[in-house]
Amino acid sequence: MILDTRDNLRRYAPLFRGVDPVPLFDWLPGATSIESGARVEFAGDKLFARVMRQDTAPREGCRWETHREYVDLQYILGGGEIIEWAPVADLVPDAPYDGATDLQFYAEAPAELLLPMREGLLVFLFPGDAHKPCVADGQNEFVHKVVGKIHRSLLAI
């Protein structure tokens, strides 16, 4: 997991191989005007982003998840949320892995770390990073964010 601010986003360009992430990085702050649910491709199915505006919920109403093929780059445009984090090794799957959506869900478990996310913050979540997004932070009823999907083959780590 990497947690940072938009001001430092370009610092992570050297992690990419075979694709220039700068067009995605430059696009992120202006995505506030993009319709929720929209998908924008930067390198086809290997690098794309979805704009989301979702209501936050109590932690019991959210689910642990991981991805095997893609790394998430979650960038907060507005509102806020808490993303709970735990090492995937500490969780027990509660459903089969869905290769079509690259989603694995897990049974309820305590969080190892709470990430209070607000406008301008970003987090890279890798396959070993179980995360529970959209948890209510007590201040915001929604989160407006971009979830960038980066195929693991595009990263040098």
**Predicted confidence (pLDDT) per residue in 8-32, tens digit:** 999 999 999 999 999 999 999 999 9
Structurally, how many domains does the chain consist of? 1
Q: What's the CA dihedral at 119, 129, 43, 21 to 10 degrees?
A: 60
pLDDT for residue 137: 97
Q: What is the CATH number of the domain that holds 104?
A: 2.60.120.370
Direct distance between the N- and C-terminal alpha carbons of the chain, in angstroms, rounded to an integer: 12
**Alpha-carbon gap, residue 105 to 31, rounded angstroms:** 28
Q: Which residue from 104, 102, 110 is spatially nearest to 85, judged by alpha carbons?
A: 110
Q: Which residue from 121, 123, 122, 126 is spatially nearest to 151, judged by alpha carbons?
A: 126
What domain range is 35 assigned to? 2-154
Please tell me the pTM assigned to this model.
0.95
Assigned token pair, 106: 């897990």
**Alpha-carbon gap, residue 23 to 70, rounded angstroms:** 18
